[in-house]
Amino acid sequence: MERIGDHAVVGNGRAAALVSRGGTVDWLCWPRFDSPSIFAALVDDGAGRWTLAPAAPFRSERHYLPETNVLVTRFITATGALAVTDFMPVASQEEQRRLLLPDHELVRMATCERGTVELETVFEPRPDYGRVGPRLRDAGGLGLRAETRAGLLTLRADLPLAIEPAGRATGRAVLQAGETRHLSLSYADEWPAILPPLGAPTREALARTVRWWRAWVGQLRYDGPGRDAVVRSALALKLLVYAPSGAVVAAATTSLPERVGGDLNWDYRFCWLRDAALTVRALFGLGFRDEADAFVSWLLHSTRLTQPELRVLYDVHGNAPPRERTLEHLAGHRGSRPVRVGNGAADQLQLDVYGEVIDAVTHFVRSGGTLDRETQRMLCALGDEVCRSWQGADEGIWEPRSGKGHNTHSRVLCWTALDRLLELHAKGHLCSAPVELFERNRAAIRRDVEEHAWNARLGSYTARLGGEELDAALLLLAWYGFEDARSARMRATFARIRERLGARDGLLYRYRSGDSPGEGAFGICSFWGAEVLALGAGSAAEARETFERLCRLSNDVGLFAEELDPGTGEALGNFPQAFTHVGLINAALSLEQRLRGEAPLTHAVPPRAALEEADA
């Protein structure tokens, strides 16, 4: 079984496939990210895969075509070189009106670049997380068909395919230099299938796809350090946006382990409100206004049924995710059991989500958006809920399964919620806010945090009020404007975090506790470290050096999982992880602002004296 970081991702804004260095599609869920899998070899060798690679031994290298999500894997054998191009076709709206295009298609093109290469493909679909061994049927010119309960899979290829027992098809072809073979796997669940012909139409689909991605990247505004890493992160993030609703899923996979062989395996194919503010800032910051607007609309729409209470996570259409259950028949990624689908964190209480959602809406307004009266009432109701609940305990940002506590980060995010509501009111976007109530509670939260979350003996803010432990999420106190990154308290907190949670090359663990023993350094926390330096806790040079070192820790195609093993550099956890790439983008944006001498985030951070005076 290939490792997590040995994979690259292709997708079309509704589903994503993970392709290994060996040319195998090891993960694919259709029709959407959280649907049951078609291929799941990433979590069990018998749960389906599709290989397209030379029959002879090879070494491989790969890259994305510049500014696209089109993957090219180059196989070098003793007799020649073969390039396999993998992509899910995308098209502009005008092209969709003009052309009949499949809803779901994965295209693979193999071109012999040099010498002679024998190509081999092995197609083993195992729908429903490997539980179904479909019967393959040869439908002649219509390809190989596998009718499943979920829909129809059609594999078409311009090389001969033979159906073997146990739902498997294989094909071989000897390619001379310059020759190409095309393969298309499509899925139809609701309509008669669209079956695109192979050959020139496949190459046109590739050209359309490349054009579409490059036009999308053309909107990106960023000229700071690590531009390639930022572009790749934006492209990875875009692959995790569910286009029909604007939701951003946390990752494309479930149950890739935070510790190989361990049980820290969760389903991340849902949308966490926790990620909202950071994601919206990343999208607006890079100039992707449509995606940012769509995500804010999804936030407001998805939370409507539960307001004024907010759930921790939702599915791509704003429904509660399915109940968490384990798939006992799957062996797990390199023995990491159990494999879970659904997510039990949905039942947790996280008070920080109020601040994250309201801050995301504030970014939207700062970028020129307006709020209708219903949304204004909804925001005020969220503010009322914060005033009622901020003193309570919650599970906190990291969703530990060990119980509730008074988490500093959650409390600061309650402060953020009220602070942003007051900002929106002051700017005329919130007509009937209970200003006095919000101001009183905001001041009370600040006092509470400053008095009880600051540990003078340690010289740092702590993860929980009155506690001794540290948490990298404390770095966000500067991000949300609760503390100035240049303040003595913030610098001291950052120093303690680096001291206690730091690993090599700027990597940071999120915390050190019994909740997650043996997990790797956390991707986004590490980028928070680079960002807090950029915001003023360190020099610009130090921020840049840290950022660039972290960027070099991606896999060979620029992708990050949730975590990294600081010892081996191995990617850990679900993949690719939106949160990590959001962290990279935000750190880059803050660094770019710092290097240009611009003001950091537009969060106002009034001097403490002024705040105390106001509170008095």
Contacting residues toward another protein, per CB under 8 A: 96-100, 139-143, 145, 147, 149-152, 154, 156, 188-197, 200-201
Three-state SS for 451-492 is HHCEECCCCEECCECCCCCCCHHHHHHHHCCCCCCCCHHHHH
488-505 burial by CB neighbour count: b if 16+ within 10 A, else e?
Answer: ebbbbbbebbeebbbbeb
Q: How far is the CB of 96 from another protein (least distance, A)?
A: 7
**138 versus 499: smaller Cβ distance to another protein:** 138
Query: How many angstroms separate the CA atoms of 95 and 211, rounded?
Result: 12
Min dist CB 517 to another protein, Å, is 43
CB of 196 to another protein, least distance (A): 6
- Residue 200 CB neighbour total at 10 angstroms: 9
Where would I find the H helices in 370-513? 373-389, 408-426, 435-452, 476-479, 488-501
Two tokens at 553? 């820790």
Whole-number Å distance between alpha carbons of 6 and 25: 12
CB of 142 to another protein, least distance (A): 6
Nearer of residues 110 and 195 to another protein, judged by Cβ: 195
Of 200 and 604, which CB lies nearer to another protein in the complex structure? 200
CA dihedral 301, 305, 306, 312 (to 10 degrees): -50
User: Encoding tokens for residue 26?
Assistant: 């090891």
Cα-only R_g, the chain: 25
Whether the CB-CB separation of 469 and 511 falls below 8 Å is answered with yes
Shortest Cβ 189–another protein spacing (Å): 7
CB of 12 to another protein, least distance (A): 15
End-to-end CA separation in angstroms for the chain: 63
Minimum CB distance to another protein, residue 244 (Å): 13
* CA distance linking residue 425 with residue 325, whole number of Å: 44
Q: How far apart are CA 89 and CA 103, in angstroms?
A: 9
Q: Which is nearer to another protein, 146 or 286 (CB)?
A: 146
Q: Which is nearer to another protein, 70 or 188 (CB)?
A: 188
Query: Which is closer to another protein, CB of 101 or CB of 349?
Result: 101
User: How many residues comprise the chain?
Assistant: 616
Query: What is the closest distance, in whole angstroms, from the C-beta atom of residue 102 to another protein in the complex?
Result: 8
Pseudo-torsion of CA 486, 487, 490, 495, nearest 10°?
70
Nearer to another protein (CB atom), residue 149 or residue 304: 149
* Integer Cα distance of 530 and 588 in angstroms: 9
Nearer to another protein, 317 or 377 (CB): 317
Structure token pair of residue 363: 């970014």
Query: Alpha-carbon distance 114 to 510, whole Å?
Result: 48
Please, are residues 258 and 563 in contact by the beta-carbon 8 Å criterion?
yes
For another protein, the closer of residues 133 and 405 by Cβ is: 133
The least distance separating another protein from the CB of residue 91, rounded to whole angstroms, comes to 11
Shortest Å distance, C-beta 129 to another protein: 18
H or E segment to which residue 340 belongs: strand 340-341
Nearer of residues 14 and 21 to another protein, judged by Cβ: 14
DSSP string, 96-119: HHHS---SEEEEEEEEEEEEEEEE
Centroid of chain to Cα 416:
24
Angle of helix 435-452 relative to helix 608-615, nearest 10 degrees, comes to 130
Q: How far is the CB of 131 from another protein (least distance, A)?
A: 17
Report which residue type is found at 615.
Answer: D
Q: Is 143 or 520 the residue whose CB approaches another protein more closely? A: 143
Please, which residue, 14 or 442, has the CB nearer to another protein? 14
Amino acid identity of 582?
A: V
Q: Which residue number, 157 or 497, has a Cβ lying nearer to another protein?
A: 157
Q: Rounded to the nearest whole angstrom, what is the least distance from the CB of residue 365 to another protein in the complex?
A: 32
Cβ contact 16:239 at 8 Å: yes
Min CB(198)–another protein separation in Å: 9
d(CA 400, CA 397) in angstroms, rounded, equals 8
Angle between helices 352-366 and 373-389 (to 10 degrees): 150
Report the alpha-carbon distance of residue 231 to residue 229 in Å, rounded: 5
Q: Of 101 and 611, which has the nearer Cβ to another protein?
A: 101
Cβ at position 51, least distance to another protein in Å: 24
Q: In angstroms, what is the minimal distance from the CB of 150 to another protein? A: 7
Cβ proximity to another protein: between 65 and 150 the closer is: 150
